[in-house]
């Protein structure tokens, strides 16, 4: 036994179509006379463009009539046939060859001719059009030049200016050549593009343990104390400024000096007069006069004498007491002891 659908009972098919039940559904068989219909229920006017392969189509609704508008290069009812553009012999030169293509054609021209229809006389490799050692190659419409390095243009007539890209660095001057360039470096740089800063310190120009500082196109030396000159090659004579005073002798040393003082002077520059009185050499209250490398004791009114006023002056030695009086020594003086009947200092 078999099962059938009863969906046709609802009469879904329109416009005179016949309904046929299927296992799970129904199918409408549209009428083929008069006005034509399509669609599942035959409720749409028939469109002939729905069943043809062309993209640009016009139709008469309800009929099988349609018209395909073909793009260039195609023909036929459904635009499926390629047009042979070479049938009209478009290439004018007898020795030319027409090659049919989709949407057109091209003419393979004999030597000396070019253009779309081979009507133009063109230069070819026989005329040696390529300049500056360029290589000529034949092409359908003439020739093509493969230029040697350093040249460009249709006939390799233009010398490429390699300096336009500014390859030279650090202020260098670029000189254009054939397929090359040359950089003329400013002082202090080297290399093909003057990209290398020359290390002027590499030759160790600074002397006497000086520090070398590399600069653009020169160097500088930082000298140790006691040296001068471009390369610190000259030892400074610290005695040139005559720092030692009071007749002292100056001894030049590296980075310094030493003063050899005369007797009686002291200090780094012998600027200090030594005070010989500081040790208080004068005795018994005498006044000390400081001299250069010496001193002098003033024994005035002390009653003493000698270099240091250390000797008590014997005032009684001159026998100042008269009439047999006794003389008594005292400091810075004397006293007379008179006999009875006499008086007075002496």
Locate the domains of the chain by residue range.
7-82, 85-159, 162-198, 276-313, 314-346
Q: What is the pLDDT of residues 46-72, one digit of tens each?
A: 998 888 878 889 988 988 888 998 887
- CB proximity list for 222: less than 8 A, separation 6 or greater: 206, 210, 211, 212, 213
Least confident of 138-147, 161-170, 234-243, 279-288: 138-147
Average of per-residue pLDDT values in the chain: 87
pLDDT of residue 231: 94
Does the structure show a pLDDT above 60 at 1? no
pLDDT score of 170: 92
Full-prediction pTM beyond 0.75? no
pLDDT at residue 343 greater than cutoff 60: yes
Matching CATH topology for 7-82 and 162-198?
A: yes
Beta bridge partners of 135: 146
Per-residue model confidence as pLDDT tens digits over 284-323: 889 999 888 888 999 988 888 888 998 888 888 889 898 8
pLDDT at 38 over 90: yes
Query: What pLDDT is attached to residue 5?
Result: 63
Q: Which of 278, 280, 254, 258 is nearest to 267 (CA)?
A: 258
**Range 7-82 has CATH code 3.10.450.50:** no
**Is the pLDDT reported for residue 76 higher than 80?**
yes
- The residue-averaged pLDDT of 145-163 equals 92
Q: pLDDT at position 4, please?
A: 46
Mean pLDDT in residue range 194-200? 90
- Residues 61-100 as b or e (16 or more Cβ within 10 Å = b): ebeeebebebeebbeeeebeeebebbeeebbebeebebee
What's domain 314-346's superfamily in CATH? Answer: Laminin (2.10.25.10)
DSSP character at residue 110:
P
Q: How many Cα neighbours within 13 Å face the side chain of 332?
A: 11
Residue 328 CB-half CA count within 13 A: 6
pLDDT at 2 over 50: no
pLDDT band at 188 (very low <50, low <70, confident <90, very high): confident
Residue 3 has pLDDT above 50, yes or no: no
Tell me: domain 276-313, CATH 2.10.25.10, correct? Answer: yes
Tokens 């599942």 found at: 40
What's the confidence (pLDDT) of residue 288? 93
pLDDT cut 70: percent of the chain above it? 97
Of 17-31, 76-90, 110-124, 310-324, the one with minimum mean pLDDT is 110-124
**What superfamily would CATH give domain 162-198?**
Laminin (2.10.25.10)
Q: Give the tens place of pLDDT for each residue, 226-270.
A: 899 999 998 888 898 899 999 999 998 888 899 999 988 989 999
DSSP-assigned letter for residue 24: S
CATH 2.10.25.10 for domain 85-159, yes or no, is yes
Chain-centroid distance, C-alpha 257: 47
User: Is pLDDT of 87 > 60?
Assistant: yes
């Amino acid at each position: 036994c078999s099962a059938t659908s009863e969906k046709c009972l609802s009469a879904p098919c329109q416009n005179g179509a016949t309904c046929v039940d299927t296992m799970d559904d129904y199918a409408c068989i549209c009428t083929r006379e008069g006005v034509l219909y399509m669609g599942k229920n035959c409720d749409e006017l028939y469109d002939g463009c729905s069943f043809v392969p062309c993209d640009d189509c016009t139709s008469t609704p309800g009929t099988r009539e349609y018209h395909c508008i073909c793009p260039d290069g195609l023909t036929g009812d459904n635009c499926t046939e390629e047009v042979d553009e070479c049938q009209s012999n478009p290439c004018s030169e007898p020795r030319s060859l027409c090659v049919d293509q989709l949407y057109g054609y091209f003419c393979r021209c004999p030597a000396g001719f070019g253009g779309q229809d081979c009507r133009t006389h063109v230069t070819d490799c026989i005329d040696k059009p390529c300049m500056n050692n360029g290589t000529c190659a034949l092409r359908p419409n003439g020739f093509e030049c493969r230029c040697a390095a350093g040249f460009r243009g249709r006939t390799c007539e233009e010398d490429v200016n390699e300096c336009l890209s500014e390859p030279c660095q650090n202020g260098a001057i670029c000189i254009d050549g054939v397929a090359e360039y040359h950089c003329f470096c400013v002082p202090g740089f080297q290399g093909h593009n003057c990209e290398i800063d020359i290390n002027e310190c590499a030759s160790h120009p600074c002397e006497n343990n000086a520090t070398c500082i590399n600069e653009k196109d020169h160097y500088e030396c930082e000298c140790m104390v006691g040296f001068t000159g471009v390369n610190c090659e000259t030892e400074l004579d610290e005695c040139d400024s005559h720092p030692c005073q009071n007749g002292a002798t100056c001894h030049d040393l590296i980075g310094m000096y030493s003063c050899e003082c005369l007797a009686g002077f002291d200090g780094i520059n012998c600027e200090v007069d030594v005070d010989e009185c500081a040790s208080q050499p004068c005795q018994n209250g005498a006044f000390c006069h400081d001299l250069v490398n010496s001193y002098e004791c003033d024994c005035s009114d002390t009653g003493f004498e000698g270099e240091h006023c250390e000797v008590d002056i014997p005032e009684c030695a001159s026998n100042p007491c008269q009439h047999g009086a006794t003389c008594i020594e005292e400091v810075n003086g004397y006293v007379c002891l008179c006999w009875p009947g006499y008086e007075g200092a002496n």
